[in-house]
Chain A
């Protein structure tokens, strides 16, 4: 689910190569001279030009949700604007569906923006003189869609973002979070193939934010859009992204899947960035599962099974059908009982109500399962086939580590607070 569609269709939808944006009068000369390697600060000091995007290259596959993450001022908004040429790049290429849009005449560019792309802005950019309904219908209006039709569609999307009662109000009557949702609805109304989203969920409260994130994942699962998503929130990036690009001072310093970014940060900056991400929110059963030493197969007899368990010194093993389908867990205790009874089928030695999990299940969600059993948890795919096992000790161990880290952090905070409190006391 999460990263599944990344590799299955490798068709490139957006390709950015060698993209530069320098704000200032002699931008072109700067990037063609040796100054191009200078740091952002020294460039600003020497030439008065602001380096916003530095030699950025990446590809986004069709149907992928690609996250661009970075601190404030790292050039995320500038980059995403360059992709639609809302800002002209100083150098470099942007290819959409294989066509270099930097070579587009303004007519073609307008067509592209009308029919292929949709954008959500960090600062909303709503039309203050139009009602919510007209704002949302705007993209369809410029396309030339008839009034009734575009209002019908706009109403549909407005209902989706939960602003039904507000359609006739001007944006100024709405709160920031509601305005952001109008911006989201406006971009969704045209049903574009490519969505560019600049911190779309930043202004929303946690509850609605989670709803919108889930809604986005739903849309993504239903109608594979290609999405470029800017955020500075790591948890959001990890939750949504098929891949994540991390930007610093205009350049991309790492591109990778959420797991890669968390587990193998490319440098100290990224490590610092991701250090407070909780692995439980990223790592899945598939990441931590192991292959068992032995498996029992349904055609084996109980005695043979007992022998196998005896030689390996284990007290349980999973029973698998001919097709690879998981049948359940056989424990040593039950097996011995079965042999004493003289039973012939291993199926009679199964533990009742076996637990299972899927490879994309988050560690976070495994905690309750792990706590309720003393045996390993089998991992099965969509068809019920056995693919690996997860040791409860691994799961619980990571939870304990997380809890103690949190507790330590809390303790450190409390301590700092006490110190501060004492200091203020002594000040008085």
Chain B
């Protein structure tokens, strides 16, 4: 048999480790700042959700679902789902999970929408970012836990960080697509009337890309929810941790209950954001 020649081996792992440790020593201040920023926001969201009485949240979610889906029974159903989560005894854990999702989604949108805009405006940028996004989405989600751990240690912050990396690609992609698919005739007309590049973006391209961006937001939110379960491995408390513990201890009933709560949460979030997205079909306001 032929051994694979030694001289062809590439020590990629070592390089990455070296890079990481360089980053860690030289950019420690930066990561600390980012980490405490994330933690600050996250804790406030979490505290607020836990501070609100449960029936207020149930009521708000029910009303919201009713408004966006325009069906009274859909609103009722969503409220009932939330009550179910409480009945299983997972209210607080669900709110913690929700807090991580909200924090991760907000940051994802804040990063992703501008990135998508930049990507849409330059073919060069698009050709650079596109393969990165592809790689991000094909990578097993566990992989993101490693750099998250290294930068931020154990806890909630790395969970949010890993969730962002996992969840941000759809909103970038769909912002890009949404802007690019705006009819060139319309953009040309805007140019002909003397719109500045900003005016073209804010008056024409972004409004017309909103349906697409909303789909991106929906997908990003769903991916954030999926990642939260995995992120519990690095210390995020919440529903994910319950599932993880149940698996370790082979407690089928407990695992099922926690899993069901995740599914219910997913349905609520998905239905509401989905309805928001499909409502955006060019509503003309005067």
Contact = CB atoms under 8 A, between A and B. Distances in A.
Interface of B is mostly: helix
B194 A127 contact: no
A105 interface: no
A142 B202 CA distance: 11
Interface in B236-286: 282, 284-286
B192 interface: yes
A399 B191 CA distance: 49
A131 B284 contact: yes
B195 interface: yes
A240 B41 CA distance: 67
Contact of A130 (B185, B193, B284): B284
B195 A142 contact: yes
Interface in A154-196: 167-170, 172, 186, 190
Interface hub of A118, A127, A139, A170 (most chain B Cβ within 10 A)? A127
Contact of A110 (B189, B194, B282, B285): B194
Given A86-B191, A113-B191, A142-B195, A125 B286 contact: no
B196 interface: yes
B33 interface: no
A20 interface: no
Contacts of A172: 282
Given A111-B194, A128-B208, A142-B195, A133 B189 contact: no
Given A169-B284, A170-B282, A126 B189 contact: yes
Given A121-B188, A127-B186, A131-B286, A142 B194 contact: yes
A165 to B, nearest CB: 13
Contact of B185 (A115, A118, A123, A143): A123
Interface string A297-338: 000000000000000000000000000000000000000000
A324 B286 CA distance: 62
Given A127-B204, A129-B208, A168-B286, A143 B194 contact: yes
A139 B185 contact: no
A129 B193 contact: no
Contact of B196 (A84, A110, A125): A110
Given A125-B188, A142-B199, A114 B282 contact: no
A257 B185 CA distance: 33
B190 interface: yes
Nearest to B204: A127
A397 B207 CA distance: 63
Contacts of B186: 125-128
Contacts of A114: 193-194
A139 B194 contact: yes
A125 B284 contact: no
B58 to A, nearest CB: 35
Nearest to A107: B196
Q: Which of B193, B196, B208, B286 neighbours the largest number of chain A CB atoms within 10 Å of its CB?
A: B193
B196 A134 contact: no
Given A124-B185, A142-B199, A119 B286 contact: no
Contacts of A127: 186, 189-190, 204
Nearest to A81: B188
A113 B194 contact: yes
Contacts of A123: 185
Given A86-B188, A127-B204, A170 B284 contact: yes
A86 B286 contact: no
Contacts of A128: 186, 208, 282
A118 B189 CA distance: 10
A277 to B, nearest CB: 32
Given A86-B192, A169-B284, A190-B193, 18 more contacts: A113-B191, A114-B194, A118-B193, A123-B185, A125-B185, A125-B189, A126-B189, A127-B190, A127-B204, A129-B208, A130-B284, A131-B284, A138-B193, A139-B194, A142-B194, A143-B194, A167-B286, A170-B284
Interface of B: 185-186, 188-196, 199, 203-204, 207-208, 282, 284-286
Give 6 closest A-B pairs by Cβ, nearest first. A125-B189, A114-B194, A113-B194, A170-B284, A125-B185, A119-B192
6 contacts: A110-B195, A110-B196, A111-B194, A112-B194, A118-B193, A186-B193
